Chains A and B, each alone.
Chain A
Amino acid sequence: AQSVTQLDSQVPVFEEAPVELRCNYSSSVSVYLFWYVQYPNQGLQLLLKYLSGSTLVKGINGFEAEFNKSQTSFHLRKPSVHISDTAEYFCAVNRWGGSNYKLTFGKGTLLTVNP
């Protein structure tokens, strides 16, 4: 079985500050990793994904994440946040092969960007 732990339920930051949202996963096999964002009163949309290759993945809106296999982490970063980045962010994992369609999500991190 696989699991995802998002270490911070809420992260308040000031506008233009850097931010890191932490995600750790547990799986006995190789995985695909995702970050989704949910803006207020909207559905989830994909920010970025790691399938294979380069461990540094760039996504939309200036976000990036780094896959670290030894630490089983996939932390999300942005060097300078905007008010419009206020949203809930979900990390998700999907294992390779077999019944690999079942995305397992973390509990989410609420990012609040203050002026």
Chain B
Amino acid sequence: GAGVSQSPSNKVTEKGKDVELRCDPISGHTALYWYRQRLGQGLEFLIYFQGNSAPDKSGLPSDRFSAERTGESVSTLTIQRTQQEDSAVYLCASSPLAGAGELFFGEGSRLTVL
């Protein structure tokens, strides 16, 4: 399809394991965002990529979290040594224009840390 694709859709892992979440943005979208959605909470900004500019990592909650993006394509969000508080839905969005542009969201990756 032509939308934002995220994988896996569901991931159950044990505390202390590393996980990798993947996002395929809409082709041609230069901006890519990661948000975290905890149960009963709003969307928490994690990181933003815009073209070849340095990413804004100001929302990453700890150094266990990292993200990469290759050019204007796929992005991966990696969580090392997962903790139970990392359990959440991780949403990826892309946009053709930063700022006033509309964000197009994927369906999210639901992470459960046991």
Q: List A residues at the B interface (Cβ < 8 Å).
A: 4, 9, 32, 36, 41-46, 49, 51, 90, 92, 94, 99-108
Contacts and interface: CB of A to CB of B under 8 A. Distances in A.
Contacts, number: 60
A51 B42 CA distance: 22
Interface of B: 3-4, 31, 33, 35, 40-43, 45, 48, 50, 56, 59, 91, 93, 98-100, 102-108
Nearest to A110: B40
Nearest to B41: A107
A45 B105 contact: yes
Contact of A42 (B33, B99, B104, B107): B107
The 8 A-B residue pairs with the shortest CB-CB distance, nearest first, are A43-B105, A101-B98, A105-B43, A107-B42, A44-B105, A105-B42, A100-B99, A43-B107
